[in-house]
């Protein structure tokens, strides 16, 4: 699909709902990938639906923060025409938090605090602009390959100056995460978003919704009256206190700002980034491409047969052109018989590899893997092997480098510093040494500042035990014994000075006879 001099070319649908569909698209003028949210054709005359999309565009465009999806463009055509209403937004590479929870289940507290810290920072930017999200939930939190969060979907967000876009007494939000004041039909505030974020964090820690009941109505009632269920170890007490404060029934009892929540989450040990599992498959563009106009086809439809040509026979040169076109599109092998040949895509980017595989009549399936010193997003292996023949529509699995390398604290603690540092450097990390005084384990690594799936080339600090200083009463100096493996000239400071006083005494009396 395209509009305005064919500026936006739509690819696959990446999301859909009652309002419309979201497409992965290309801005042909700027040459960048974008997301286009298009209002459904049957809702184009619905003034409330049009007003919601208009409000979403204007509100989200007023927020400038890396943790909030940007809005680039908005178009609203006359509903009496065949035009469409749509928003052009930042396309966020990655998957939603809800998908991660389905695949992985409960997350470690430091990962959850990282999510809370990052999302709270994005919320603070929205609140500073006078905007309340009102529908914070895992499905609206995107996770990028770098382990960062991006807040999306301000479809029911509202500013203090906004006109109501819902019916009176209508419940606005998702009942699993909605605040008590929203259940009562009261206006949402920044503290309402903090309540929802607290319930998102609870879901991340436990793998379940805190107040889900048999029906949405029962769930909403639980939000009003039930207390947050207790959290069990290994969740730290400080994390539970923060979540209980965020989910207090009265807005006044919750933290004052989202910035306060972000600060507390960081103090509770938030990880630097979210640790996505190596099996978290990446999204690849689908083969469907539309050349229709946004004004006529907001959603992909079945292809129509071309009208038959009337009249005389097709000239020979035209028939040859048709055959050549088929050879280009389908591949000579498919026309002449036989199975497609698997292309060699190792070393390509995942997106380029997907296009190459589809061009051969096969289906790409990508899995992210952790591997050292390989560029993020590059294909490092494939199956079947290049050159093999495979039936059409066979899935070709490509292994895509995550840009991260796993490091276990247990794999370095207890080793000598030289050996541990060499192993980490071989994996592409930069190693720093920090000496700590210990009465034992001299020369060994006793602590590491970070572990888990770390970005390729990250800096890791190893704490190495060194012997405590020894105070010698005679000289009053502090001496530290050399560490194991230290050079021989690393001797106590007073070595060779034992007779210095005698030498001075002799020199003083010389020549006084």
pLDDT tops 80 at residue 84? no
Q: What is the pLDDT of residue 316?
A: 44
Mean pLDDT of 321-327: 47
Most confident region among 259-268, 311-320, 475-484 by mean pLDDT: 259-268
475 versus 103: which is more confidently predicted? 103
H helical segments located in 248-312: 258-267
pLDDT at 320: 46
Structure confidence at residue 146 (pLDDT):
81
Task: Please tell me the number of Cα atoms within 13 Å of 165 on its side-chain side.
Answer: 21
The pTM of the whole model exceeds 0.75: no
Higher local confidence (pLDDT), 426 or 48:
426
Q: Taking 60 as the threshold, does the pLDDT of residue 171 lie above it?
A: no
How many Å is the Cα radius of gyration of the chain? 32
pLDDT exceeds 90 at position 181: yes
Task: Please check the confidence at residue 113 and state whether its pLDDT lies above 50.
Answer: yes
What per-residue confidence (pLDDT) applies to 283?
62
Question: Would you mind telling me the total number of residues written for the chain in this entry?
Answer: 513
Q: Indicate if the pLDDT at residue 330 is higher than 60.
A: no
Contact between 415 and 404 under an 8 Å Cβ cutoff? The reply is: no
CA–CA separation, 17 and 310 (whole Å): 43
Q: Are the C-beta atoms of residues 196 and 157 closer than 8 Å to each other?
A: no
> Please, are residues 145 and 376 in contact by the beta-carbon 8 Å criterion?
yes
Q: Which two tokens stand for residue 371?
A: 């591997």
Average of per-residue pLDDT across 170-184: 84
Is 37 annotated in a binding site? The answer is: yes
Q: Look at residue 215 in the predicted model and tell me its pLDDT.
A: 93
Residue given tokens 């060699």 in the structure block? 344
pLDDT score for 317: 47
Confidence at residue 80, expressed as pLDDT on a 0 to 100 scale: 52
What pLDDT does residue 192 have? 96
3-class secondary structure, 306: coil
Give the pLDDT band of residue 442 (cuts 50, 70, 90): very high
Q: Of 7-21, 120-134, 189-203, 377-391, where does mean pLDDT reach its minimum? A: 7-21
Q: Give me the domains of the chain, ranges plus CATH numbers.
A: 1-93 (3.30.200.20), 95-282 (1.10.510.10), 340-402 (3.30.10.20), 409-479 (3.30.10.20)
Whole-number pLDDT of residue 155: 66
Average per-residue pLDDT in the chain?
79
**Where is average pLDDT lowest: 198-207, 243-252, 274-283, 391-400?**
274-283
Mean pLDDT across 142-165: 74
Tokens 């899935």 sit at which residue? 395
Percent of the chain, pLDDT > 70?
73
Between 9 and 476, where is the model more confident? 9
Per-residue pLDDT tens over the stretch 368-406: 788 888 888 889 999 999 988 888 878 898 988 888 888
Confidence of residue 51 (pLDDT cuts 50, 70, 90): confident
Helix (H) or strand (E) holding 452, with range, is strand 452-455
Name which of 345, 378, 423 is nearest 145 in CA terms: 378
Residue 279, pLDDT score: 63
Q: pLDDT category, 78, cuts 50, 70, 90?
A: low
Summarize the confidence of residues 32-57 as an average pLDDT.
81
More confident: 288 or 238: 238
Is pLDDT above 80 for 288?
no
Give the residue numbers annotated as catalytic, written as ranges: 135
Beta bridge pairs of residue 454 = 405
Most confidently predicted of 164-178, 287-301, 303-317: 164-178
Q: So what's the pLDDT on residue 466?
A: 94
In tens, the pLDDT along 477-512 reads: 555 566 554 544 444 444 444 444 444 444 444 445
Confidence (pLDDT) at 416:
94
Task: Reply yes or no on whether the pLDDT at 47 is more than 70.
Answer: yes
């Amino acid at each position: 699909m395209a509009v305005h001099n064919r500026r936006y070319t739509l690819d696959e649908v990446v999301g859909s709902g009652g309002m419309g569909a979201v497409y992965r698209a290309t801005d042909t003028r700027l040459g960048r990938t974008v997301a286009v949210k298009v209002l459904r054709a049957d809702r184009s005359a619905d003034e409330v639906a049009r007003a919601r999309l208009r409000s979403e565009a204007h509100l989200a465009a007023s927020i400038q923060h890396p943790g909030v999806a940007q809005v680039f463009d908005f178009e609203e055509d006359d509903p009496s025409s065949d035009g469409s209403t749509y928003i052009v937004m930042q396309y966020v590479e990655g998957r939603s938090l809800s998908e991660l929870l389905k695949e992985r289940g409960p997350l470690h507290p430091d990962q959850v605090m990282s999510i809370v810290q990052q999302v709270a920072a994005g919320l603070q930017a929205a609140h500073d602009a006078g905007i309340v999200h009102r529908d914070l939930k895992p499905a609206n939190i995107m996770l990028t390959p770098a382990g960062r969060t991006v807040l999306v979907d301000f479809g029911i967000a509202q500013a203090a100056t906004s006109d109501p876009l819902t019916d009176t007494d209508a419940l606005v939000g998702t009942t699993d995460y909605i605040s008590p004041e929203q259940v009562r039909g009261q206006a949402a505030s920044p503290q309402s978003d903090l309540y929802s974020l607290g319930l998102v964090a609870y879901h991340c820690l436990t793998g379940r919704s805190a107040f889900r009941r048999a029906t949405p109505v029962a769930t909403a009632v639980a939000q009003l009256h039930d207390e947050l269920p207790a959290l069990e170890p290994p969740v730290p007490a400080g994390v539970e206190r923060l979540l209980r404060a965020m989910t207090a029934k009265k807005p006044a009892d919750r933290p004052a700002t989202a910035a306060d929540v972000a600060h507390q989450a960081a103090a509770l040990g938030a990880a630097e980034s979210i640790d996505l599992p190596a099996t978290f498959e990446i999204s690849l563009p689908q083969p469907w491409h539309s050349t229709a106009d946004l004004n006529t086809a907001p959603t992909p439809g079945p292809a129509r047969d071309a009208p038959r040509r009337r009249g005389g026979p097709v000239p020979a040169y035209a028939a040859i052109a048709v055959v050549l076109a088929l050879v280009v599109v389908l591949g000579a092998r498919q026309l002449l018989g036989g199975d497609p040949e698997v292309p060699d895509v190792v070393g390509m980017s995942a997106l380029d590899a997907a296009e190459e595989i589809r061009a051969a009549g096969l289906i790409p399936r990508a899995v992210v893997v952790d591997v050292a010193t390989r560029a993020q997003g590059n294909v490092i292996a494939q199956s079947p092997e290049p050159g093999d023949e495979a039936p059409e529509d066979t899935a070709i699995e490509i292994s895509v480098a995550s840009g991260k390398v796993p490091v276990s604290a247990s794999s370095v603690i207890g080793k000598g510093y030289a050996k541990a540092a060499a192993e980490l450097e071989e994996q592409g990390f930069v190693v720093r040494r920090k000496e700590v005084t210990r009465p034992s384990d001299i020369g060994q690594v006793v602590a590491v500042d970070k572990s888990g799936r770390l970005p390729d080339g990250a800096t890791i600090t190893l704490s190495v035990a060194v012997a405590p200083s020894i105070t010698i009463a005679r000289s009053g100096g502090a001496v530290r014994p050399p560490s194991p493996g230290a050079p021989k000239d690393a001797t106590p400071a007073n070595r060779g000075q034992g007779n210095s006083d005698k030498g001075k005494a002799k020199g003083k009396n010389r020549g006084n006879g």
